[in-house]
Copies of this chain bind each other. A is one copy, B any other.
Amino acid sequence: FDEKLIHSSEIKMETAALLDSILGKLEDEIRKSLEYNPPDGLAKKDITGEAHKLTVEFLGSLPRVREILQTDVEAAFNGDPAAASKEEVLVSYPFVEAIAVQRLAHELYLKNVALIPRIMSEWAHARTGMDLHPGAKIGSHFFVDHCTGTVVGETAIIGNHVKMYHGVTLGAKSTAGGQKLRGKRRHPTIEDHVTIYPGATILGGETIIGAGSTIGGNVFIMDSVQPNSLVIYDGLDMRVLSKLDKNIALDFQI
């Protein structure tokens, strides 16, 4: 990916130099964000110091974020028969990019830094088609295959070892209240070891998907389900007709 060839003995030094240059820029952006929307009780003269403090704290969180990201890559490789190697996961899976950005943006979100976390998550959203809000709390060994169209809302809580597919929505029941709902719990809780198939929509801040459950494709849920549940459509409402039957062919077209 990088144009410059570096010897393995130089990796540490190169990484340190790169990190240093990035953190300088980040501190600058955090300072601008604090100026735009100063936290309660922060005097204007203290903004520069606060920006430096937040940046150093963010730096301190990197080893922890890196560790949990390794569990995500592991989950992706173990959970996808199409993955030929962990290297393939790292260099080609959009999920890796999306979850890395979310976990970093989440650190800034927790410190009430304005604008930057959402700019980060929308950058990843544009590249991967998956919209993981920086506010969502996501456990270890997370994996979303294919990613496109999956949306995880601001107040969602996701346990460990959760596997999801594309087109999954962890959303709010009603947002008609608009800004009045801000800060309230609006999105579901997904407990440990849950699998959610493509196109499933799960809504509501009081909705809990119990540990070990499997949610089938295209299912629409607004209520909690017990641990170890399997939720699927019966197909009772689906009709299979023969196009060769002329009466039917005339009545139906999609």
Contacts and interface: CB of A to CB of B under 8 A. Distances in A.
Contacts of A94: 122, 125-126
A31 interface: no
Classify the interface of chain A: helix, strand, loop or mixed: loop
B231 A240 contact: yes
B179 A85 contact: no
Given A88-B115, A146-B151, A237-B233, A218 B201 contact: yes
B254 A173 contact: yes
A203 interface: yes
A94 B148 CA distance: 15
A213 B243 CA distance: 8
A177 B131 CA distance: 28
Contact of A128 (B80, B126, B239): B126
B220 A220 contact: no
A165 B171 contact: yes
A115 B129 contact: no
B237 A169 contact: no
A70 interface: no
B153 A151 contact: no
Contacts of A197: 201, 254
A82 B242 contact: no
Interface string A115-132: 100110110011111110
Chain A to chain B: the 10 pairs with minimum beta-carbon distance, closest first: A81-B181, A237-B237, A92-B118, A228-B243, A201-B217, A149-B149, A92-B122, A82-B154, A230-B241, A81-B182
Interface of A: 36-37, 77-85, 87-88, 91-94, 114-115, 118-119, 121-122, 125-131, 133, 135, 145-146, 148-149, 151, 153-154, 165-167, 169, 171-184, 186, 195, 197-199, 201, 203, 212-214, 216-220, 222, 225-226, 228-244, 248-249, 252-254
25 contacts: A79-B178, A81-B178, A81-B181, A82-B135, A83-B179, A88-B115, A88-B118, A92-B121, A129-B148, A129-B149, A149-B149, A169-B199, A173-B254, A176-B195, A203-B217, A213-B243, A217-B254, A222-B254, A229-B240, A230-B254, A231-B238, A232-B238, A233-B239, A234-B237, A237-B237
